[in-house]
C-alpha cells in the first residue's frame, strides 16, 4: 500500500519561472492538504482540497499560487513567477473521509518537494 | 495568540533515558485533536501519536505517550528509553473541529547522546 507520493523531490527554478508540484494521495484517501515549511520553521497550512473542490484556501498567498485536485490524476500546486522567498519545502498530506463522530483523522504526509529559487 | 506553543527550541537526552517535550495549545473549541509528528534530518514528516479532546485516557504508542492535561491545555510528548534514532525535530499540532487543517508549533529539536 503505497504512501503519499510527491514529485519531484527537488526542484530548482530561476526567478520568474513556474513551479509545478505534484501529489498523489494514499489509496482510498479523498482529502489532500498542502503545507509549506520555510527553513527552521514549522509547517504552515496552505490549502485543503477534495476531488474537484477547494474546501479551504485560507493559507494560500493571494497571488501567484494555485492548487487543484482533478477528478483523475494527482493534486497540483502551481507557483507562477517564483521569487526567492518561495524557496521552501512543500508537503502534501492526505486523509480518508471523516467517519461520523470522529473529531479528526491523522494526515499522512508525503516526503515533500524542496523548491529552490535561484 | 499562538495556537500551539513549543517552548523548548532544543533538548538533549542521554540514550535510554526518558524525555518530555512540551506543548501547550490555545483553543476555545470543545472538540479538537492533538498530534505529534517527528521530522528527522531526511525531512519527511512521521506521524507519532494522536489525542482527541474527549479521550479520557492518555494516548500511548509504543515508546511514545502523551501527557494530556486538558484544564492546563497541555499535551506533552513523553519518549521513554530514548534511542539514537530519536534525534529529530518534533512538532506538536492541533486540528479544531470543523477545520481540516493542522496548525503546527515551531518544533523542538531533540538530540540523543550516547
pLDDT by residue (tens digit) across B78-99?
A: 999 999 999 999 999 999 877 7
pLDDT at B96: 84
Supply the pLDDT for residue A75.
97
Is the predicted pLDDT of residue A101 greater than 60, yes or no? no
Is the CB of B107 less than 8 angstroms away from the CB of A42? yes
Q: Do B101 and A111 count as a contact with CB atoms less than 8 A apart?
A: no
Q: How close is the nearest chain B Cα to the Cα of A28, in Å? A: 17
Residues A40-97 have pLDDT tens digits of 888 999 999 998 899 999 999 999 999 999 999 999 999 999 999 999 999 999 988 7
Which residues pair with residue B90 across a beta bridge? B38, B108
To test the contact with chain A by mutation, choose from B2, B44, B75 the residue with the greatest count of A C-beta atoms within 10 A, namely B44
Indicate if the pLDDT at residue B100 is higher than 90.
no
What is the pLDDT at residue A28?
A: 84
Give the one of B54, B91, B97 whose C-beta lies nearest to A42's C-beta.
B91
- The confidence score (pLDDT) of residue B60 equals 96
Using the predicted structure, report yes or no on whether residue A100 has a pLDDT greater than 60. Answer: no
Q: Distance from first CA to last CA of chain B, Å, rounded?
A: 38
Nearest to B100 among A31, A43, A112 (CB): A31
Of B43, B47, B101, the CB nearest to A108: B47
Residues B52-61: contacts with CB under 8 Å, at least 24 apart: B52/A102, B52/A103, B52/A104, B53/A103, B53/B29, B54/A103
Q: How many CB pairs under 8 A join A and B?
A: 70
Query: Looking at residue A41, what is its pLDDT?
Result: 87
Grid coordinates belonging to B98: 470543523
Contact A104 B32 (CB under 8 A): yes
Q: Do A109 and B45 touch (CB under 8 A)?
A: yes
Residue partners of A100: CB distance under 8 A and separation at least 6: none
Whole-angstrom distance, CA of residue B26 vs CA of residue B56: 19
Which CA distances in Å does B109 have to A28, A90, B6, B85, B93? 33, 20, 11, 13, 15
What's the mean per-residue pLDDT of chain A? 91
pLDDT digits (tens, 9 = 90+) for B16-61: 999 999 999 999 988 899 999 999 999 999 999 999 999 889 999 9
* Distance between CA atoms of residues B110 and A68, nearest Å: 36
Has residue B67 got a pLDDT over 80? yes
Of B31, B53, B101, the CB nearest to A33: B101
Mean pLDDT, rounded, of chain B: 93
What are the CA-CA distances from residue A58 to residues A5, A35, A37, A46, A55 (Å)? 24, 12, 16, 7, 9
Residue-wise pLDDT for A39-50, tens only, equals: 888 899 999 999
- Pick from A8, A46, A59, A104 the residue to mutate for testing the B interface (most B CBs within 10 Å): A104
pLDDT at residue number B65: 97
Amino acid at each position: 500500500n503505497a504512501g503519499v507520493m510527491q514529485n519531484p523531490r527537488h526542484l530548482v527554478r530561476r526567478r520568474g519561472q513556474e513551479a509545478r508540484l505534484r501529489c498523489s494521495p494514499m489509496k482510498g484517501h479523498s482529502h489532500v492538504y498542502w503545507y509549506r515549511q520555510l527553513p527552521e520553521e514549522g509547517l504552515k497550512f496552505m490549502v485543503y482540497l477534495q476531488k474537484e473542490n477547494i474546501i479551504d484556501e485560507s493559507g494560500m498567498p493571494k497571488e501567484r499560487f494555485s492548487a487543484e485536485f482533478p477528478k483523475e490524476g494527482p493534486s497540483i500546486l502551481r507557483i507562477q513567477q517564483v521569487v526567492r522567498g518561495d524557496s521552501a519545502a512543500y508537503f502534501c498530506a492526505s486523509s480518508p473521509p471523516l467517519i461520523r463522530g470522529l473529531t479528526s483523522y491523522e494526515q499522512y504526509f508525503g516526503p515533500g518537494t524542496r523548491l529552490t529559487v535561484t | 495568540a499562538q495556537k500551539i506553543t513549543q517552548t523548548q527550541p532544543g533538548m538533549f537526552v542521554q540514550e535510554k533515558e526518558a524525555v518530555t517535550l512540551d506543548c501547550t495549545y490555545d483553543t476555545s473549541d470543545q472538540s479538537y485533536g492533538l498530534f505529534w509528528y517527528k521530522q528527522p534530518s531526511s525531512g519527511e514528516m512521521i506521524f507519532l501519536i494522536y489525542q482527541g479532546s474527549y479521550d479520557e485516557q492518555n494516548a500511548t504508542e509504543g515508546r511514545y505517550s502523551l501527557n494530556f492535561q486538558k484544564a492546563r491545555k497541555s499535551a506533552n510528548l513523553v519518549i521513554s528509553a530514548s534511542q539514537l534514532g530519536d534525534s529529530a525535530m518534533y512538532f506538536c499540532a492541533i486540528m479544531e473541529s470543523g477545520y481540516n487543517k493542522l496548525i503546527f508549533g515551531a518544533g523542538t529539536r531533540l538530540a540523543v547522546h550516547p
